[in-house]
Amino acid sequence: MKARYRVIRDYKYQLMEDYAHEIDLRPEGDIEFRFVALSAAGLLRVRKAYAWDGPSGPTIDTRNFMRGSLVHDALYQLMRLGALDYRVHRKRADELLRDICREDGMSALRSWAVYRAVRLFGESNAQPREEPEVEVICAP
């Protein structure tokens, strides 16, 4: 039997158990992907083994940034996949990043800077695009 695997690039963190977060971002219908789901009622579910790159840009990855970056990355992924309209939902996703970071103890000044950074530089990461083909490697 062959071992099938893939190379993962650009990720720093992987979720070790399912995570759910109620948000006030409401899609028209339930959205369901392998690792991320968002119900029409606003329940975001990120499944175990989801990989994300954590906080982006010139910043420090601190504990008070992790939950916010997880939710934000999951929402941006839904926008890139075309499941959420980035023109409608991106601002709220950015606000949720700021709000969750504040809930987790980030200072008001730093959370404001984080919010401004994603507002200024994040749009291209939310725009729909084709996800790259996954190369499956077999050994031996």
Coil, strand or helix: which one is 79? helix
- Tell whether 89 is covered by a domain: yes
Does residue 5 form part of some domain?
A: no
Please give the model's pTM, rounded to 2 decimal places.
Answer: 0.90
What range does the domain containing 59 cover? Answer: 11-129
- Does 2 map to a domain? no
pLDDT in tens, the chain (140 residues): 667 767 777 788 999 999 999 999 999 999 999 999 999 999 999 999 999 999 988 899 999 999 999 999 999 999 999 999 999 999 999 999 999 999 999 999 999 999 999 999 999 999 998 766 667 777 77
Is residue 18 assigned to a domain? yes
Show the DSSP H helices in 1-140 as ranges.
Answer: 63-80, 86-103, 108-121, 123-126
* 138 falls within a domain: no
